[in-house]
Amino acid sequence: MKSLLLLSVVVLLSADVQAQTTNDVEDRDANVTTNLAGAWKLVSLEQPGADGKLQTADCAGMFVFSNDGKASVQIMFRNAQTGSTYAQGGYEASYGSYHIDSSSTFTFHIEGALVRALTGKELKRQYQISGNRLTVTSTDPNEHWKVVWERY
């Protein structure tokens, strides 16, 4: 009887720990999503120039994240002859859904884009929020760019 009672207590404690762990992960993800959610104005975009060195692009833009996992980004380069694979005619626009992978990465699933070859792609991004600034970079070691956004 004692062993059955002990087993019951262990099972209940184990279930409580599992539920608490699940709630902690959900709370963390909700907090991260809440921190990311909103409209962000482009502050700077650095991308490799013809010489391979990072250069600040002359552009403007906005990135919007909703609380329910939708996202949209638009960037207008003032020079239409940009070398970006994400832009066409100096304009970049895409929308879709996103999910948080960790406290420092998210994945943007492209549902539609001006550059149609991007549609259906899963773009994993590193991010950092510091104050009212959001810094986004690629997780792809072959992509060398950095975008800084500021919360509206």
Model pTM score: 0.77
More confident residue, 47 or 85: 47
Q: What is the rounded average pLDDT of the residues 13-22?
A: 44
The pLDDT value recorded for residue 48 is: 87
Determine the Cα–Cα distance for residues 89 and 78; give it in Å rounded to an integer.
10
CB 49 within 8 A of CB 55: yes
Tell me the pairing of strands 133-138 and 146-151: antiparallel
CB 63 within 8 A of CB 149: yes
The pLDDT value recorded for residue 116 is: 95
The pLDDT value recorded for residue 82 is: 62
- Tens-place pLDDT, residues 74-101: 999 998 766 677 899 999 999 999 999 9
- Tens-place pLDDT, residues 116-142: 999 999 999 999 999 999 999 999 999
Residue 31 CA: distances (Å) to CA of 11, 84, 103, 115, 140: 30, 32, 10, 32, 26
